[in-house]
Amino acid sequence: MPTPRITMRKIKEILRLKLDVKLSHERIAQSLAMSKGVVAKYAGLAATAGLDWPAIREMDEAALERRLLGRPERQPDFAMPDYGRIHQELRRKGVTLMLLWEEYQAEYVGQRTWRYTQFCEHYRSFAKTLKRSMRHQHRAGEKLFIDFAGPTLPLADGGHAHFFVAALGASSYTYACATPRETMADWLDATALALEFYGGSPCLIVPDNPRALIADANRYAPRANDTVLDFARYYGTSFLPARAYHPQDKPKVESAVQVVERWIMARLRHQRFADIHEVNLAIVPLLKQLNERPFQKLPGSRASAFAALDAPALQALPAQRYEIATFKTVKVHIDYHVEVEKHRYSVPHALVGQALEARITQSAVELLHRGQRIACHARNSRVGGFSTVAEHMPAAHRAHMEWTPQRLIDWGGAIGPAVAVCVTRLLEENKHPEHGYRACLGLLQLAKRYGKPRLEAACALALQIGACQYRHVNDILVNNRDRMARPNSEEWISPDHAHVRGPRYYQ
């Protein structure tokens, strides 16, 4: 089965972590569940294209794909092996550089390739760049470790308060709050509250491998779900799950959980709380005391270390808190609408037949094409309903939608009052006004053939005889009856003269 192609959105995330956050190939590979060779490949393509992060950030996915994956103007003199893959293959038992060099020669038959000595020399130069220290030295603002405490606190309604704990790597500055459960929404909402508590976001967020966040809790390549990746993009950070059953990968939060259990949860054990809100109100003063307690062996406290180390290094937060979003692949139907939860939302009609990505929040539905938003609708729960934007419709459909009874009447009124009355009667004769649209349009089109004055006269005559249908007005114009002298419609009064007896004669 072929390896799935990496999306441009994920490639852009690789370049952001590499060029903006300055992470190593290994950390990027672990965070995004891919090999270091892939990370090295796209970082090299960006360097070859002369792209930096400010330029990449302003590009859409199509433009970035053209710059990165377009055919290069000049081919390298030698076929370059994928040293990241070679480094991984060397970990296998029995695999040697000689074997990998022979495979490299066979892969690039007909091209200039390195000889064995040069192949090994280039690989060793590459391997030196991967050396790293095994000591845990946390940089300021680099990592935020998150976890849930094991014990819970019973509530008066029969539920339990679960304690979320977060700690920054450099200062150990600790945050804690209570949640009703440990679902994905609870994890992300609590993490968003923690970022607001710290006043910024770190480069990396390190959880363990909770099923709520990690779609594939693989020991070597855990994969976060789409909502978690969207949360990370929103705050300009990235999730780097710890290895399963390796608490030493996140010692800061393990220690913080223990401290929260001893200094916060233990003090609340005799109190009875009605709901989660009351628990969180009780946590606030205890959390402040915890962070202001002096270190036993180091100068200062968690709060002072945070102010000096982590606070200046954190990235600024967005203006609004993240809203939980789910993702779904949808297809544009022939009526230029997509269906999300049995409701249909319009997109530009040029995308008919395309597969789009729907980003669904509690209040909105965003539709993305290759990572670029092309439509946004207020979320509607009406089953079978339609949410349509006029700009998404073809010109002909949009013109048809704009026809209304009043528009036809106004059009007739611009020709003359008799025409307006005829149009009104044509619309009123039908149970549904739409049934009279074609007759009205036919009547109004007669002005182009015979002129507005004749149409007005014909409609006036049609009203006198009580025949306002299109065919009647058309017959009047064809037979030139509108040009004949019209009888005086006023009441006739006999003149006075001597031969008239008058009313007295009959009394």
- Domain boundaries 143-313, corresponding CATH code: 3.30.420.10
What is the separation of C-alpha 467 from the centre of its chain, rounded to a whole number of angstroms? 58
Q: How far apart are CA 41 and CA 73, in angstroms?
A: 18
User: Which residues are CB-contacts of 386 (< 8 A; sequence separation ≥ 6)?
Assistant: 337, 343, 344, 346
Q: How far apart are CA 7 and CA 316, in angstroms?
A: 27
Least confident of 103-107, 214-218, 469-473: 214-218
Whether the pLDDT of residue 495 is over 80: the answer is no
Phi, psi of 163 (to 5 degrees): -100, 115
The pLDDT of residue 16 is 87
Domain boundaries, the chain: 8-128, 143-313, 326-395, 403-483
Quote the longest CA-to-CA distance of the chain: 143
What is the separation of C-alpha 336 from the centre of its chain, rounded to a whole number of angstroms? 19
The pLDDT of residue 116 is 92
Question: Within 10 A of 253 (CB to CB), how many other CB atoms are there?
Answer: 29
Q: What is the pLDDT of residues 283-315, one digit of tens each?
A: 999 999 999 988 775 678 889 888 888 888 899
The pLDDT of residue 370 is 85
pTM, two decimals, is 0.51
> Where do we find the tokens 């209304």?
404
Instruction: Give me the helices (H) in 336-450, please.
Output: 395-401, 405-415, 417-428, 437-450
Query: What residue ranges in 236-351 does DSSP mark as E strands?
Result: 238-239, 326-331, 337-340, 343-346
User: Which residues are CB-contacts of 327 (< 8 A; sequence separation ≥ 6)?
Assistant: 226, 227, 230, 357, 358, 359, 360
Query: Contact 314/200 with Cβ under 8 angstroms?
Result: yes
Whether the pLDDT of residue 145 is over 60: the answer is yes
Q: Which of 405, 447, 427 is nearest to 459 (CA)?
A: 447
Q: What is the pLDDT of residues 17-33, one digit of tens each?
A: 888 888 888 888 888 88
Which is more confident, 133 or 496? 496
Q: What is the pLDDT of residues 459-488, one digit of tens each?
A: 888 888 888 888 888 888 888 888 874 555
Query: Contact 340/358 with Cβ under 8 angstroms?
Result: yes
Q: Structure tokens of 238?
A: 């990235």
Whether the pLDDT of residue 492 is over 60: the answer is no
- Side chain identity at residue 380, one-letter code: N
